[in-house]
Amino acid sequence: MTITGTHATKRKTSDDVVDGLSHAIHEHRISPGTKLGEDEVADIFGVSRTIVRSALQQLAHQQLVTLERHRGAFVARPDPAEAREVMEARSLLEPRTARSAADRITDADIALLHDRITAEHSALASGNYGQALHLSGRFHTDVARIADQKTIAAFIETLVARSSLVIALYWRRKSAICESHAHNALITALEAGDGLQAEEIMHGHIVDLAHSLDFSRSPKSTFSLREAIEGRR
């Protein structure tokens, strides 16, 4: 018999596991290289190992997780060469996307981008740098969505996700967080419909972010896997 009504308990799906793990990764509560044991993840989320395997496959497709034969699943750990490639790809794609967004942006889009910046500043003020970086990444994927170029937006979303791993490994703490003046200047250009200016600002912004990375860094997480995941849920 199927239980229905307000008292029914919604069963967790692989999408719930993907959401919980990806947020913990994006907000740097789980470090690159961390092992994601099927049994432990299943216990934390209260799901079967089958659901966990499906979630890990999805995260592997998003390049947030690597699956190693006979060893299991690990949060992806880009090496310096991969990190440079990710940032170079962003510097090539995102400026042109910002230019296209300037031709299509609406008042609602502008309000959303302002909300993103406000939330990012709030996270910074509370010392939650991982959340601030996640919100900064959302700002960039929003710009790609506004450009209405679905194929390129999908590439950018993947690159932004990979950038989260890159920054977790190599950032110089606060200096790697997207500077507020760059985002504010970009919104001003977008609102004015100035595509060339938006393109220039975005390019300089991505280059500055790449230059702020320190490839000698190799941090470790201070959270257990359960603490990292349950901090979001």
- Whether 105 is covered by a domain: the verdict is yes
174 and 71, same structural domain? no
What 3-state DSSP class applies to 222?
Answer: coil
140 and 44, same structural domain? no
Of residues 61 and 94, more confidence is placed in 94
Task: Round to whole Å and give the CA distance between 120 and 131.
Answer: 8
Q: Are 133 and 67 in contact (CB under 8 A)?
A: no
The confidence score (pLDDT) of residue 168 equals: 81
What percent of the chain has a predicted confidence (pLDDT) above 70? 87
The confidence score (pLDDT) of residue 5 equals: 46
206 and 96, same structural domain? yes
The confidence band for 225, taking pLDDT boundaries of 50, 70 and 90, is confident
CA 109 to chain centroid? 19
| pLDDT tens-digit series, residues 166-218 | 988 887 655 445 556 889 999 999 999 999 999 999 999 999 888 888 887 66
Please give the average per-residue pLDDT across 6-35, as a whole number: 81
CA distances, 230 to each of 73, 114, 127, 213, 220 (Å): 19, 29, 19, 29, 19
Mean pLDDT across the chain? 86
- Whether 9 is covered by a domain: the verdict is no
Please give the average per-residue pLDDT across 61-73, as a whole number: 91
Domain extent, residue 71, equals 14-77+221-230
93 and 41, same structural domain? no
The confidence band for 25, taking pLDDT boundaries of 50, 70 and 90, is confident
Is a pLDDT exceeding 80 seen at residue 116?
Answer: yes
Alpha helices in 27-174 (DSSP H): 38-45, 49-61, 80-104, 107-125, 129-146, 150-170
The confidence score (pLDDT) of residue 114 equals: 94
- Whether 197 is covered by a domain: the verdict is yes
| pLDDT tens-digit series, residues 91-113 | 999 999 999 999 999 999 999 99
